């Protein structure tokens, strides 16, 4: 028996497998239930008692060595196959091609651009409320009940309460700001507004405006004009021209509407500008002294200008979008044409 053990020990020590399968083959040969080492253990009971100690020790040594050899070879083959797998990765391949990335909504892009342009000349951004009381949306802006100017803005009333409305204009934010902040004030207020209008290519019941307000001691109409010229050139290009036409808003005096030279035909005449060469983009004016008084600002000391524009209108001109409804349908084929760049 000792001889057999020695022979097997030699076999174990010199064994070097070529493959994982061969390791498994030898594990079965030596250590499985019917393996040679196991058979020797079964035979152990027949060993004469004076040899039991020596044979027992050798047998245990054989089993340990065989087990160690099998384990270390198994480990070797496993780590080799792992590193082969890693070698198979080609890091120069392009990224997974069908990964879809989102894009920013065109109205958000234009809003951010407007904020950016005015931030450069010191305008902060202020937020208002979409559900507004009559005072802030109308009365404080010189538009009391039964004033004909209310007809210009078909209003949604909240719970049929004549005192609460979905704001029809971001001009309401002006009133809040003037009520709690002392001049100088220089701020713009972007936000959503609502009007009870039939939805078409040119009108919607919900849209977005940006209101601008500047109040200080010596603000003039020339400041207003220069501010709007700067904005128009930054937004539509350095060659853009502006013109102001007299108009009427209850909260400004004098009031004006501003046109820019048509971005499509550059003034030559096309169907976007109805062959006039000009397109209207905003309303503006000097804040009416009565509005200042309504907000507890002394009109003898302070003056100011205000303006309001529609973000959809600016976006339509900038991107040549012909139908306002496209902005609200969220069709990805439309949206993905706009990038954040």
Name the residues that contact ligand DAH, by CB under 6 A. Answer: 169, 171, 211, 249, 252, 283-285, 306-308
Q: How far, in whole angstroms, is CA 177 from its chain's centroid? A: 28
Q: Count Cβ atoms below 10 Å from residue 324 Cβ, excluding itself.
A: 19
Question: Which CB atom, from 73 or from 169, has the smaller least distance to ligand DAH?
Answer: 169
User: Whole-number minimum distance, CB 109 to ligand DAH, in Å?
Assistant: 22
User: Whole-number minimum distance, CB 178 to ligand DAH, in Å?
Assistant: 12
User: Whole-number minimum distance, CB 169 to ligand DAH, in Å?
Assistant: 4
List the beta bridge partners of residue 211: 189, 308
User: Whole-number minimum distance, CB 338 to ligand DAH, in Å?
Assistant: 25
- Nearest residue to 38 via CA among 11, 80, 10, 66: 66
Which sign, positive or negative, has the C-alpha torsion 205, 203, 340, 109? Answer: negative
The Cα–Cα gap between 80 and 75 comes to 8
Please say whether the beta carbons of 189 and 174 come within 8 A: yes
Question: Which CB atom, from 278 or from 307, has the smaller least distance to ligand DAH?
Answer: 307
H-type alpha helices, 34-129: 36-43, 49-87, 106-119
User: Whole-number minimum distance, CB 103 to ligand DAH, in Å?
Assistant: 29
User: Whole-number minimum distance, CB 107 to ligand DAH, in Å?
Assistant: 17
Give the residue closest to ligand DAH by C-beta. 308
The Cα–Cα gap between 119 and 311 comes to 17
Question: Which CB atom, from 12 or from 166, has the smaller least distance to ligand DAH?
Answer: 166
Question: Which CB atom, from 59 or from 306, has the smaller least distance to ligand DAH?
Answer: 306
Strand order across the 252-261 sheet: 124-125, 185-194, 206-216, 303-310, 278-287, 252-261, 242-249
Question: Which CB atom, from 235 or from 287, has the smaller least distance to ligand DAH?
Answer: 287
User: Whole-number minimum distance, CB 308 to ligand DAH, in Å?
Assistant: 2
Please say whether the beta carbons of 170 and 191 come within 8 A: yes
Question: Which CB atom, from 106 or from 304, has the smaller least distance to ligand DAH?
Answer: 304
Question: Which CB atom, from 4 or from 147, has the smaller least distance to ligand DAH?
Answer: 147
Per DSSP, 154 falls in state P
């Amino acid at each position: 028996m000792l001889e057999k053990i020695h022979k097997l020990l030699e076999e174990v020590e010199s064994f070097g497998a070529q493959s994982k399968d061969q390791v498994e083959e030898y594990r079965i040969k030596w250590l499985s239930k019917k393996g040679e080492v196991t058979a020797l253990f079964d035979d152990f009971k027949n060993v004469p008692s004076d040899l039991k100690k020596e044979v027992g020790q050798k047998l245990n040594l054989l089993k340990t060595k065989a087990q160690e050899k099998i384990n270390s070879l198994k480990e070797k083959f496993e780590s080799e196959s792992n590193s082969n797998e890693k070698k198979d990765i080609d890091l120069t391949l392009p990224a997974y091609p069908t990964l879809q990335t989102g894009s920013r909504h065109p109205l958000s892009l234009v809003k951010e651009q407007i904020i950016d342009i005015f931030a450069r000349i010191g305008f902060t951004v202020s937020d208002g409320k979409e559900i507004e009381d009559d005072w802030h949306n109308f009365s404080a802006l010189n538009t009391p009940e039964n004033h004909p100017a209310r007809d210009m803005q078909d209003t949604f009333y909240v719970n049929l309460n004549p005192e609460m409305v979905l704001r029809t204009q971001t001009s309401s934010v002006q009133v809040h700001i003037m009520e709690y902040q002392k001049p100088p004030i220089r701020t713009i207020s972007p936000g959503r507004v609502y009007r009870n209008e039939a939805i078409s290519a040119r009108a919607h019941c919900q849209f977005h405006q940006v209101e601008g307000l500047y109040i200080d001691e010596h603000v003039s109409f020339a400041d207003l004009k220069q501010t709007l010229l700067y904005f128009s050139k930054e937004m539509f290009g350095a060659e853009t021209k502006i013109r102001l036409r007299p108009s009427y808003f209850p909260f400004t005096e004098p009031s004006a509407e501003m046109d820019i030279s048509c971005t499509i035909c550059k003034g030559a005449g096309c169907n976007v500008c109805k062959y006039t060469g000009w397109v209207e983009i905003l309303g503006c004016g000097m804040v009416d002294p009565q509005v200042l008084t309504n907000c507890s600002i002394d009109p003898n000391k302070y003056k100011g200008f205000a303006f309001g524009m529609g973000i959809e209108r600016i976006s339509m001109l900038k991107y040549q979008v012909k139908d306002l409804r496209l902005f609200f349908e969220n069709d990805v084929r439309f949206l993905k044409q706009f990038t954040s760049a």
